[in-house]
Structure 1
Amino acid sequence: MKVLVPVKRVIDYNVKVRVKADGSGVDLANVKMSMNPFDEIAVEEAIRLREAGKAEEVIAVSIGVKQAQETLRTALAMGADRAILVVAADDVHNDIEPLTVAKILGKIVEEEQPGLVLCGKQAIDNDMNATGQMLSALLGWSQATFASKLEIEGDHALVTREVDGGLQTIKVTMPAIVTVDLRLNEPRYASLPNIMKAKKKPLDEKTAQDYGVDPAPRLEVLSTEEPPARKAGEIVGSVDELVAKLKEAGVV
């Protein structure tokens, strides 16, 4: 079985995001970029499935700008067997929309015929949480979202999902789309020898046009602004003073 893992290049989660002065978007100049953390967990899980003998090959895919090669090399250094880069934008500020990504992934799935697609549940830059679900709908495949545990049993997958009320375990028929949550695993660090080996692993470069998909955006960002600063708290001396403050704020 092949496992396909889409990975996205995003601003590193340790970096404080800055909004452009004109409010047209996020400032990406001289900002450290890395693999989306949820996608990193998906790559780790795919590698573990291969190590357990449940999968034969792990393929990493990224759709975006040419610089996403670095993200794919990280996936290869972690242990992915090969990678596919689909160049769908020239400007790093152009985010490829989930439907476009799902359509391109659908074409790649038709070519590669994987038994499982492991996605991060969402990207930390736009928080759309939509690509996996859209891909499932386009392919007509089973889907399991927010996975915190995954077990492959023959032609079925047992998936424990994180839901509002706790945990839910479901069985889905393979092939399937599974989107992963934070508690599924702890991704490994790529060792220096594996980073060197990753440079020799195959990385195919394609374009959105090769798959017959128009990457032009359908959404227009009107403005971007930082969240308002939190107001300082107040220390009250008694319960009566607390109730009075709450009444002033209109809470009670």
Structure 2
Amino acid sequence: MSKSLRIIVPVKRVIDYAVKVRVNPAKTDVDRNVKHSMNPFDEIAVEEAVRIKERLPSTEIIAVSCGSAKSQETLRTALAMGADKAIHVEVADDSKLQPLGVAKLLKAIAEEQKPDLIILGKQAIDDDSNQTGQMLAGLLNWPQATFASKVEITDTLAKVTREVDGGLETISSKLPAIITTDLRLNEPRYASLPNIMKAKKKPLTKSTPEQLKVDITPRLETIKVEEPAKRQGGKKVESVDDLIDKLKNEAKVL
């Protein structure tokens, strides 16, 4: 491949996957005063971009995060993994930031940076919306390849193997394009100490929704957040007739 690539990789700061999430006392949200880290699907997206750069050294990787000031920690992690520079779109309360708002912010950045490829995690593990990549593709009018388990980049095409209900599907898409990553795409590397130190010197620029002229007003309102009911213990039945009786009269599902 002869031409250089520019890749944007959005990364989100989420509650760490190992933390047991609890509802806050007011039942308006989950308790966010816990350990946070980069969304695991976004780690896969950063890793894939870095692997492309290793094959094509002229590639430039731009990590982008929309959120509070603490999102800069997530961007520094992306820089330590191999991104070249970072853009932080600062939002006062990122708990109010919804997929459409993020997609609009990313569209504005894409129009500024003119990337050849945008690689996103297929979903964030906090809201599990699985919407931002598809919305961004729609807003930019770019082709998309979601749930990627294998990515090959050629001069003008992205060849993507994606996971679908019936197995695997391989599609080719012209660049620029949107790719969202699935778990089996790769295994993200750990950032080495020297790279963590180097990341502190890599450029990180700040922006705001106002500067990008994007309205991120939430379209949805959360009325109440509750923990799911605790699972009841199972019961053994003596016969099929006994099972049917309990399904009919106790569980009332028949």
TM class by shorter chain equals over 0.9
What displacement does 1:236 show?
Answer: 3.4
Alignment of 1:32-181 (within 5 A): 32-53=35-56, 56-88=59-91, 90-92=92-94, 94-181=95-182
Is 1:15 equivalent to 2:15 in the alignment? no
What displacement does 1:164 show?
Answer: 1.2
What displacement does 1:218 show?
Answer: 2.2
CA gap 1:247/1:8 in 2 versus in 1, 3 angstroms? same
What displacement does 1:148 show?
Answer: 0.9
**Alignment RMSD (CA, Å):** 1.6
| Separation of aligned partners in 2, 1:55 and 1:245 | 66
| Separation of aligned partners in 1, 2:17 and 2:200 | 25
Counterpart residue type for residue 232 of structure 2: K
Identify unmatched segments of 5+ residues in structure 1. Answer: none
Q: Deviations over 1:39-76 (max 9, x none)?
A: 11000000000001176111100011111000000101
* Matched length: 249
Fraction of identical pairs, as percent: 61
Q: Deviations over 1:150-186 (max 9, x none)?
A: 1112211111111111111111111100011111100
- Conserved 8 A contact 2:88-2:206: yes
Normalised to the residue count of structure 2, the TM-score between the two structures is 0.93
- Conserved 8 A contact 1:3-1:55: no
Q: Deviations over 1:4-56 (max 9, x none)?
A: 00000110010011101221111112x00011111110000000000011761
Identify unmatched segments of 5+ residues in structure 2. Answer: none
| Separation of aligned partners in 2, 1:137 and 1:238 | 55
